[in-house]
Chains A and B, each alone.
Chain A
């Protein structure tokens, strides 16, 4: 027979943290990513520019400048076909895009959280009915409908926000529903229910905070999608004709691709950078809020 273990007594068994022994909070994981911080700063800067653009950006409608000037010291981004300072137009153009992005995301999130939360938490008939509604909104060609509705109802910015918000919530609702259903099963929520706390209060105070992580990630991504969609609509000429947005600047630019490349380049870069920043932040949030072991196999 064999003889085992000639060495001294080991420590009590259990998980031994090798490497970082500090607790891994989402915030810490998020801020460990240099890219996430970079894009957070970029996003903050772009938001600041969009907010302050109208203040220091100069006059975006004055046609007092020579038309079709390439970028120069006097006109850092050149001038457009009507002799308007393009820098001023780009600075003004961000405001609406960002506003639409955040407003749509907020609206989608609110609707999604509300509908998904109710379905997941209460289950039963309510769930079945709401899931049907969710499935319907996921199956309809949302983008096409937004286009049609905006075209027929007129290009009021609030109508556009409302329609995009109305078609954008099912993704959040699905996540929220799954989370709420899971949380509703947890011991302490059942306990709270058994203890006689009203359902609505439990939903708000217990289910919501626990379900927020994936919802926040999805909402972040919605901001990017909404900005892209708004620019697309504006590019097609659907939008407030009196207000320059990055999308409508690109609409202006297309006929002059041969002669005024700057008119197409800069607004596009702005949309791209903002959407990229939002998506990168969302990606980093996702990694931070849903840490996985990574690939073990």
Chain B
């Protein structure tokens, strides 16, 4: 089916999506640069450190891809600053706990949701340049998420991470749940925009729900991290997440 032509406002919407993504990629590059340094200081196994360094290179490529795509759809304003990327974690925690918090929050939670969103976009998108860009980014985002799960497993094998359960609501909040569930102006609801990779409210929240239900929560539980506090907090947005699915 041929792609439906876009109105100027819709071009700007898609340009804004990819400009925001470029800002997030800039933030991720800065975060991975800091995390790689901290992981190195901690003396993590080589394979985990290599994955962190590869992530920095990936993000550098992603920034270029996203900037190019935003420009192709008419983005002509100055490049925005990176989204927040400072160190996160319990302020009174030991450095190792803060590192583990950030790896779980950023890689296991945020990057997992990100990978799930991109996987769904790849399924629906038809516009060739967006499809190619999503395909190029998706594979790397999967590895960034996997880095978090690898580090969490490594930490759990060392008997670390017992503090994590009570912090899950903070992590989920930080992953932008409020933004995902925020009512917008309906500009992404037009069905023909799906072919350009835009996610409607229903699709966006559906991906979030499924990624939490099928990946993040069972993943944490698989690694012995108790999720009751996290599930309780999430149930304010998604009642079905209150208890594990059988």
| Chain A bound to chain B | no
Residues of B within 8 A of A (CB): none
